[in-house]
């Protein structure tokens, strides 16, 4: 009987621990610093960038995008949709080194652990065809 009671106790503790993980705000899973590259075509070397994402008091995921090797100010990012494994952002307007013009942009990413990968669309503010590409990143700081 004692063995059965012990087993039930540990199963209850495990169930509570899983409940705590499920109750964790999704935004906290993406908070931190991410370094990545955007690719307009698969054969290019990519444009390096850094995302710094934080969770606000209201639980919203926000952050900034900076491009390595430029003097451009950080670009504000706003998470539009966030699920267990995907996130989408709206950015802009900003000057995109990948496009060579001022753009408004959206991105959709999948994430797992410290990896982030997805697609983006940059729409030139002066008009013209949108530029689409891919990106990938690794978390370099922050909690997982």
pLDDT in tens for each of the 144 residues of the chain? 445 444 433 344 444 444 444 456 789 989 999 999 999 988 889 999 999 999 988 888 999 999 998 889 999 998 889 999 999 999 999 999 888 899 999 999 999 999 999 999 999 999 999 999 999 999 999 865
Handedness of CA 96, 99, 103, 105 (dihedral sign): negative
CATH: 3.10.560.10, 3.40.50.300, 3.40.605.10, 2.40.128.30. Which one for 26-141? Answer: 2.40.128.30
What pLDDT shows up at residue 143?
Answer: 62
Q: Taking the model in full, what pTM does it have? A: 0.78
Phi-psi region of 139 (alpha: psi -120 to 50; beta: other; left: phi over 0): beta
* Beta-bridge partner residues of 75: 65
Distances in whole angstroms, Cα of residue 86 to Cα of each of 3, 13, 40, 116, 124: 42, 29, 21, 9, 25
What pLDDT shows up at residue 24?
Answer: 62
What pLDDT shows up at residue 99?
Answer: 86
Handedness of CA 83, 55, 70, 90 (dihedral sign): positive
Domain ranges of the chain: 26-141
């Amino acid at each position: 009987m004692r063995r059965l009671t012990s087993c039930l106790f540990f199963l209850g503790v495990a169930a509570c621990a899983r409940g705590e993980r499920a109750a964790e705000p999704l935004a906290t899973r993406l908070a931190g610093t991410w370094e990545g590259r955007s690719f307009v075509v698969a054969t290019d070397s990519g444009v390096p960038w850094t995302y710094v994402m934080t969770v606000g008091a209201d639980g919203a995921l926000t952050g900034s995008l900076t491009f390595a090797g430029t003097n451009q100010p950080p670009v504000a990012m706003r998470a539009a949709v966030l699920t267990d494994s995907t996130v989408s952002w709206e950015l802009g307007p900003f000057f995109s080194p990948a496009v060579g013009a001022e753009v408004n942009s959206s991105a959709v990413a999948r994430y797992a652990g410290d990896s982030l990968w997805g697609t983006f669309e940059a729409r030139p503010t002066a008009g013209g065809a949108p530029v689409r590409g891919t990106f990938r990143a690794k978390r370099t700081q922050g909690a997982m």
